[in-house]
Structure 1
């Protein structure tokens, strides 16, 4: 019976490989699978005939597979295992007495045993090496001993989303070091009580980076509660509930941070002398007394500014602010998220500066009408559907400039009919005058963006030492993996940026840019090939190869198509809103490049199914693009089993020297511990979303990965030094501070991320070194 079952199994495998392999050949792919199909069918027949020749044939096939696998992938265990792991298990089964003892002919066990041993030897060797690892070190010399931090507050505090208006995510605290970080202990845990609800949209996430001012930490939650807690104990001091109602058209339900302002015109200790500003997902900006959490009635209309004022198409759920506003020169600079790919009738992407005391509009810069920045009059509206800033700005108050990372005009994948202004400012870093909102310079990172390659992250400002002297620089990470290092006074590259040819062939009525910019400092991945396809077995790997061959793909910036286009790097981004952290003293950066391919497929309007009134907002799946000639289906490039089709690693930690523009190291980051039914701590290198911080102690901290850990790394080498288990996904950026007794704390919010599927929660957690 065992022989019959094995024969049938081989026949089924042969049919799968045969049909799929021939299909793959017709698409221009590898011949291996068709050959494997023939081998399995012949082996099935030989087993049915109880012929020992089946073992000889399988030994030859397994040896050929081993050679082919090494030729395709080198000695990468994860890629080799996908190709040969199941086949080796089948060989071991054939060597069981229940099989070979029932076969006749010249004994074929010895050659099969030898090939199995060779395969296991190759597997063992490949487990000891990592062809994707890039070892190296960052310089340790203090190039700028003091460092330009952009901070006029104590070293132990964290006053802005990126700590200071410079957005460096760098702390001058050095109590926690490479030598003692492994001794960190959990000091306290606080739970907000704001949990994900069944009625929430998919993109309900907890991504806040708290502020630390005086003895207090200030946080917001996914449903926009504002809360103050004691920095030393985690004890709640006050909370404010803006009563955010549910809205199924809202694509995102999150809050990445609040903003802090000290009003010098009000005596210390009086009401609203210090304020916390809360952005909400129903498009309000609320001023709260930092001491009590009470509304500051002198701001706006009874404490609130309506961000929908002067908006075209003011539809519920279509516009809101997810990121912390930036405060500079007594102004609150506010952008907003506009729902991607819902409609051509969207609110404006206008960026506004409000008076921090009164809430009055000081200036408004609309990328669709950039020459007018004065406040609008009654009955006037901003330009509909102009590029927006859904992330956070940074500022240099001495230069009088604010730096805004801009997104794209929706629909993201359709470029027909974009205005001259939209073409100029989409997917750019733009410098605005802090006092007037007038454009000072613009640096575009993608021309005629058809891939949702928004500039996603707050630029980081640093004074950079070059051969020509000190340059006031800006470091801007992008979704496509380029790191733009620019002169922040002029926008000119400090590290060269070159124009390179890009694929053509847009749909009728659209066009592609003939060239695209690429920075010399780039984490852009190599183009994918069929050999990069992956799976837990040869079966789903074959399915991924077929899907890859069916998609249109000519490398980065392959245009969208009705056929279906592979987008790599995907619009998840090599870097996303978490950005990078820069050390202004050592003049280096630390980040988490992520590599996950996406698919996009244009759907002609007459083929778009009717709208579902009960559908909840999401960036994945069918995006309707109402009013446009095409809808678009988007999502990650996954196998039939729901795992990435491309081989790992999907995520790294990396360090680069900003003076030379060279990458020093890249190491796989994160495990599949929380991605699989079995909690296996296999260090594959997983995707993540969130950001890092750097401390003067030479330690970088990062959560973000889709396994639930906060990790500490040696900034110099990228080596992992410590990790702490989190009760939920850590898709937020950590921060660090000191308390009155001088202890340094490291804190992260663990609340999970809806669309990447990490565990939801409501935790705020802080670690510190043991008391001496």
Structure 2
């Protein structure tokens, strides 16, 4: 009776809210209405026009320039001949998907989640909405008119910092860079929390699409009485952070189950204040979408100390396993392992063994004694680096000798914990292995496609917090030069010459960001970049001026004049988000990178340890290949094929071929029913491979580099492929990198099709 009453209430609420669009499961591969293609995130399309035999004939059908020089990671979505893209100084633009003609522009949406948006329509098709995160709010735009929907939430806003069990004024980050997922009348969201002590908790939430009302919350850091509470210290939910889905959620519409890949707890590299295995950190978690209740989970890393998040989309596939058809889910981690489970029960298809791993000798740290190792299925990336693997391409003889002499003083190996005595080389590193956008599938055939990168991290010794603060003291005073602030906080990722190493080039930054945008990024962080909210407003202004100057060094007391952003040319129907959603909240006691004080009354260690830096600056020390694309047959657990992805032009000049690309995280794929696998790469090319054997069948040059996911769609009987190409090219190890040169080429959205009429 209670169950019947529950379903009656659900149905009543759906009718009250204008009903919902329950997609036919068979239809999800016939369009690209969602980030990642469809609810299952397979990036698979059942289109038959582009085949192995004619893919070589693909040509540019039309090109839409972004009208600026910003870097966009946006995955376009296409609905009823409308293509929605991000362009023109962070404007949401609706294009005619057949011709590229602008239909409307909603300008001034700075702070929008960069990787994509969500689309929802009512069952009768009268109500069509675009749903997105911006400046830690959830907002909506009418998909036909481009205007904000002010009936959603409170005057068009849902504050994502509310309801997390913390003072919202202490939270700098609550939105994810990835758009979430739609199911019926719900929008499912993860979050971005930052990496520091006392960062936001990564609770999973579902909101009503029409009203903005919070429907349910799942506490990924369990509270008293909840499953997993005993895997943390008492009251850890009051101060622990992370354990968030900042990557890609996959949905099984038939079962009503959502699969969440969860990241590590924070602080990432020292866990004395979070003794235990720390559920649901680093877990694949299956939730009942309508209730938010846990169905099953599997933790891939216990008490993570390496930032081995799960972030790539879980792939929902059907396999022949031991004589039975099994609906499975495949998950690939930043640690390189491939895990495969029964989708309904969470049972592994092949044994996963708990094996002893190196233990920490750092005071206060309690490493977990074992870690889970999948068997049968080969890992997707390299998991160890030896002295013989030092890079012959980009290390000079002197550098190679220096590293060889240094090698014996390093500790290294899979699951080797950071030390307070020695430097630690982690392989894969914190951004190695498999990341967002890097998985796809042919779901009915049980074939998994993966892009991985081989990127080591070098971690300095762990030191007490006061040591870090003393190092930063000079750079955090008004008497410090702008250059000192930059070298202390930014150079490890962006290079001493600002040309970019792990992070992008900062040359000519004033052309890409006004000061308000720059300040927001420093306060909140973005993508892989942590928050630097310990810098005060004067220091942020000084840093911005320093990066904006072509010659000389500005005086630290010089005032920054905010750039006035003009409305873009074209059919602008609105500007800015919903009223009240653009302000930068002044944080109170957030503690910046190092975390706020612990709450009163909790039992925590006397001191915190911290790494000075994030260990991301040495990808060039390992020999190629640096990035690879591969296919797994999960009916058998075999690796079908593997090949390097991309060509580094600096390496090629030195006589090295098939190297793949350094820093090749942000790539995506499209799989077709005609046996093609399309993939982007960091060398500014789009390629098509034979999905069965990995043979390259076609490639095309793009005007700029590309980040994020391509998309494929059919309109008016014609099949199209669209690629976002807005990033500077990046070759070599960074210093000789061509992205350090000013590039006036216009980036934008490149649309390919077979020859013939596009009308």
Q: Is the shorter-chain TM-score for this pair beyond 0.5, marking a shared fold?
A: yes
On the 8 A contact 1:366/1:382 being kept in 2, the answer is no
SS in 2 for 1:319: coil
Q: Does 1:497 align with 2:352?
A: yes
SS in 1 for 2:621: coil
Q: Does 1:283 align with 2:145?
A: no
Match of 2:243 in 1: 387
Residue by residue over 1:245-293, the C-alpha shift from the partner in whole angstroms, topping out at 9 and shown as x without a partner, is: 6xxxxxxx851110011122xx544xxx01111222x111111111111
SS in 2 for 1:187: strand
- Equivalent residue in structure 2 for 1:176, among 32, 36, 50: 50
C-alpha distance in structure 2 between counterparts of 1:754 and 1:333, whole Å? 34
Match of 1:231 in 2: 97
Deviation at 1:626, TM superposition (A): 3.5
- Equivalent residue in structure 2 for 1:625, among 586, 594, 597: 594
Alignment RMSD (CA, Å)? 2.9
Q: Does 1:359 align with 2:212?
A: yes
Match of 1:82 in 2: none
C-alpha distance in structure 2 between counterparts of 1:515 and 1:170, whole Å? 37
Structure 1: runs of 5+ lacking an equivalent: 1-148, 197-204, 246-252, 374-380
SS in 1 for 2:463: strand
Change (3 A) 1:593 1:169: same
On the 8 A contact 2:724/2:748 being kept in 1, the answer is yes
- Equivalent residue in structure 1 for 2:193, among 329, 338, 344: 338
- Equivalent residue in structure 2 for 1:743, among 712, 718, 742: 718
Change (3 A) 1:625 1:154: closer
Match of 1:610 in 2: 472
C-alpha distance in structure 2 between counterparts of 1:468 and 1:425, whole Å? 33
Q: Does 1:400 align with 2:400?
A: no
On the 8 A contact 2:74/2:724 being kept in 1, the answer is yes
Structure ranking higher on relative contact order (CA contacts 8 Å, 6+ apart): 2
Q: TM-score, normalised by structure 2?
A: 0.72
SS in 2 for 1:644: helix
C-alpha distance in structure 2 between counterparts of 1:636 and 1:150, whole Å? 46
Match of 1:53 in 2: none
- Equivalent residue in structure 2 for 1:560, among 411, 414, 418: 418
Q: Does 1:532 align with 2:389?
A: yes
Change (3 A) 1:151 1:621: closer
On the 8 A contact 2:47/2:673 being kept in 1, the answer is yes
Deviation at 1:550, TM superposition (A): 2.6
C-alpha distance in structure 2 between counterparts of 1:221 and 1:451, whole Å? 35
Correspondence list, 1:631-642, <5 A: 631-635=610-614
- Equivalent residue in structure 1 for 2:669, among 666, 672, 692: 692
C-alpha distance in structure 1 between counterparts of 2:362 and 2:240, whole Å? 24
Deviation at 1:348, TM superposition (A): 2.2
Q: TM-score, normalised by structure 1?
A: 0.71
On the 8 A contact 1:150/1:396 being kept in 2, the answer is no
SS in 2 for 1:592: strand
Deviation at 1:597, TM superposition (A): 0.7
SS in 2 for 1:545: helix
Correspondence list, 1:452-491, <5 A: 452-491=307-346
Deviation at 1:685, TM superposition (A): 2.0
Match of 1:544 in 2: 403
Match of 1:114 in 2: none
More displaced 10-residue stretch of structure 1: 599-608 or 749-758: 749-758
C-alpha distance in structure 1 between counterparts of 2:439 and 2:283, whole Å? 17
Q: Name which one, 1 or 2, has greater alpha-carbon Rg.
A: 1
Match of 2:447 in 1: 588
C-alpha distance in structure 2 between counterparts of 1:172 and 1:444, whole Å? 33
Match of 1:274 in 2: 128
Change (3 A) 1:435 1:526: closer
C-alpha distance in structure 1 between counterparts of 2:438 and 2:644, whole Å? 18
On the 8 A contact 1:163/1:169 being kept in 2, the answer is yes
Structure 2: runs of 5+ lacking an equivalent: 1-22, 227-236, 477-484, 490-521, 533-592, 597-606
Deviation at 1:400, TM superposition (A): 2.1
C-alpha distance in structure 2 between counterparts of 1:209 and 1:679, whole Å? 35
Match of 1:771 in 2: 756
- Equivalent residue in structure 2 for 1:423, among 278, 286, 310: 278
Match of 1:91 in 2: none
Match of 2:508 in 1: none
SS in 2 for 1:465: strand
Correspondence list, 1:91-170, <5 A: 151=25, 153=27, 156-170=30-44
Change (3 A) 1:770 1:427: same
Change (3 A) 1:334 1:526: closer
More displaced 10-residue stretch of structure 1: 520-529 or 432-441: 520-529
Residue by residue over 1:640-683, the C-alpha shift from the partner in whole angstroms, topping out at 9 and shown as x without a partner, is: xxx6111111111111101001101111221112x579698943
Change (3 A) 1:513 1:571: same
- Equivalent residue in structure 2 for 1:300, among 153, 167, 185: 153
On the 8 A contact 1:349/1:388 being kept in 2, the answer is yes
Match of 1:510 in 2: 365
Deviation at 1:360, TM superposition (A): 0.3
Change (3 A) 1:678 1:517: same
SS in 1 for 2:56: helix
Match of 1:206 in 2: 72
On the 8 A contact 2:670/2:711 being kept in 1, the answer is yes
Deviation at 1:473, TM superposition (A): 0.9
Change (3 A) 1:439 1:655: same
Residue by residue over 1:412-458, the C-alpha shift from the partner in whole angstroms, topping out at 9 and shown as x without a partner, is: 001112276x7121011111111111111111111110000010112
C-alpha distance in structure 2 between counterparts of 1:633 and 1:576, whole Å? 24
C-alpha distance in structure 2 between counterparts of 1:320 and 1:444, whole Å? 24
Deviation at 1:345, TM superposition (A): 2.4
Correspondence list, 1:31-70, <5 A: none
Correspondence list, 1:578-727, <5 A: 578-601=437-460, 602-608=462-468, 609-610=471-472, 612=475, 616=522, 617=525, 624-626=593-595, 629-635=608-614, 644-673=620-649, 675=650, 682-687=657-662, 688-689=664-665, 690-703=667-680, 705-727=681-703
On the 8 A contact 1:672/1:680 being kept in 2, the answer is no
C-alpha distance in structure 2 between counterparts of 1:409 and 1:584, whole Å? 31
